[in-house]
Structure 1
Amino acid sequence: MPAIPSSLLEPVWVEFAALLPERDEFHPDHPLRCHRRCIPDRVVFEHLVAALVHGSGYERIATVGCSDSTIRRRLKDWARAGIAEQVHAVALAAYDRIIGLQLADIPTDGCITKAPCGGDKAGPSPVDRRKGGLKRSVATEGAGVPLGVVSAGANRHDSPLLGPTLQAATDQVGPYWPIDVTVHLDAGYDSRVTRTLLDGLGLHAAIARKGVPAPVQVGKRWVAERTHAWMNGYGKLRRCTDRDSKIVDFFLYLAAAFVTVRALIREARTRYRGQTRPTTRRLK
């Protein structure tokens, strides 16, 4: 049984493969060019998707046709090249062209997950007895499609991550935004520093006030919380065991690409009719 439905896997792989460099059948540095053939990129990609979905170690998902050392080596190369970020940007462009991004409202929020192995982006978690944790800050558009993702230690406050998160969203979407953009934030961002930052960027702020019950002033920021729930459906994001910051961001943006493509398919299903229009909301 595939880890991801083919309707999600195939579109992401097509864009992923288009960004990969050409690979010879044999390694060019080998003097005789007669050693074992290189593992195809598609095989390694499917193993990485399995690791993303199940959160398993590379030794557990390795098979006879693809060893864990091959997975780690190829993953490191792809993470250094920023392939996942580029695939996510392509998915956002497709969503904007077919459905349309709702950029007038930008809900932003943080989420703390486990990082038991430590690493560049791990820190003592304030909600898990100071065990290793990872904070993920996500800015979404009005419908919940993730625009920018930033990772940091779990002990980092949400407010200092707001600027890098909005910058990451700008890098993924592009510099052209609507004239009036409102950033929706919870009470954790209720500070003068946050308002000064948003004023400097020319953005409106809808920030919950400290001391007021959340249901009274929930506003539109619940969309970002739902996006975190979607991304937490991937095991590698719930419990990150990688120590390299580039690899951590690789899995974050790969999951964001899958979330974006899933949202695109679900929205396009009810807007565009045709002979091949699916008859069920379940993705297959």
Structure 2
Amino acid sequence: MAKPLVPDDLWQRVEPLLPKRRRSRHRQYAGRRPVDDRKAFEGIVFALKTGVPWADLPATSQWPSGVTCWRRMTQWHRAGVWKRLLESLLAEMQARGLLHWERALVDRAHLRAPGGGRKTGPSPVDRRKRGSKHHLLTDAEGTPLSIELTAANRNDITQLRKLVESIPPVRGKPGRPRRRPKSLQADRGYDSESHRRALKKKKIKPVIARRKTPHGSGLGKTRWPVERSLSWLYQFRRLRTQFEKTAPPHRALMLLACARICYRRLTP
């Protein structure tokens, strides 16, 4: 039996976060009734998972048209739904002891952007074709904590502080919310003394490989979960290529994909 696209327990986590729709003062009014929120959410998840273009998303009894799903996704992104969904799932994982703060892991991956748009640039690994980068920060087991999108020609080190500062305050246990790992591991692309000093000021131990040194730092033995998480991210085919012309719709898809990864870890 096939698994449902949006299980009931996932929808129970999403529904309270959605903005309430205003009711008309008149009992009878012209126009069609608004699309059901759950059907719109299922259409968004289907497009994220399969990579189908929004214009080709079939309008069926299961979900509305692609244009409606795209519009609802961007509206909910402006309302902060996807960010709060990720934070609530992280808090649930924290309460169950599934987050590991002894170290954070950072890595990035390139993707093509054939249509161009914002947050794109000549890719140094794809013969200067238009592309973007996903920068991901996870806990020690690969759970996504923060994610950023940049042009493909942006240096990796420019996003390190932003990734650390973007870690949300994770609740779930008594006391102050947790948002700081004990250490941070990264490869040579993040080698910078100024960033090491900045991490130490935040009481985060930097464990970053240095340029112009022999290989064999040993970081690969513990840094591989972030690479696995990037592969999990690209199981959502919509994220393999940057089709959106502006950054907010693609960021909405990134946050939703990270939330789905957290949900999988909560309900294996």
Name the TM-score class by shorter chain: 0.7 to 0.9
249, 265, 268: which is aligned to 2:267? 265
TM-fit CA distance, 1:180 = 7.0
How far the C-alpha of 1:216 sits from its partner, in A, is 4.5
For 2:180 and 2:121, locate their aligned partners in 1 and report how far apart those are by CA, in whole Å. 38
Q: What is the CA-CA distance between 1:64 and the residue it aligns to? A: 4.2
Identity of aligned residues (%): 30
| Structure 1 or 2: more helix by fraction | 1
Structure 2 residue aligned with 1:236? 238
Deviation at 1:62, TM superposition (A): 3.1
What is the deviation of 1:215? 7.4
CA contact (8 A) 1:8 1:258 kept: no
**1:55-99 deviation line (CA, Å, top 9, x unaligned):** 111111131452233122212211211211110111101111123
Q: Who is 1:200 aligned against? A: 201
The aligned counterpart of 1:109 is 107
Matched letter for residue 168 of structure 1 = S
Which secondary structure does the structure 2 equivalent of 1:62 belong to? Answer: coil
Q: Is the partner of 1:256 in helix, strand or coil?
A: helix
Shift of 1:244: 2.3
User: Matches of 1:63 and 1:215 in 2, distance apart?
Assistant: 52
| CA offset digits 1:243-265 (Å, max 9, x no partner) | 22221111101000110111122
1:154 matched to 2:152? The reply is yes
**Where do 1:95-244 residues align within 5 Å?**
95-169=93-167, 171-173=168-170, 176-177=177-178, 181-210=182-211, 211-213=213-215, 216-244=218-246
Match of 1:281 in 2: none
Structure 1 residue runs without a partner (length 5+): 267-284
1:38 to 2:34 alignment: yes
SS at match of 1:151: strand
Provide Cα deviations, 1:41-68, integer angstroms capped at 9, x if missing partner. 1111111111101111111113145223
Corresponding residue of 2:58: 62
SS class of match (1:107): strand
Secondary structure in 2 aligned to 1:221?
A: helix
- Structure 2: gaps of 5 or more residues: none
Give the aligned length: 261
Deviations 1:8-32 (A, max 9, x none): 643332222111122367xx49996
Counterpart of 1:242 in 2: which secondary structure?
coil
Q: RMSD of the alignment, in Å?
A: 2.5
Cα distance, 1:215–1:181 mapped onto 2, change above 3 Å: closer
SS at match of 2:166: helix
Counterpart residue type for residue 170 of structure 2: V
Return the match for 2:9 from 11, 21, 37.
11
Change (3 A) 1:52 1:194: same
Contact 1:8 1:261 in 2 (8 A): no
- TM-score normalised over the length of structure 1: 0.83
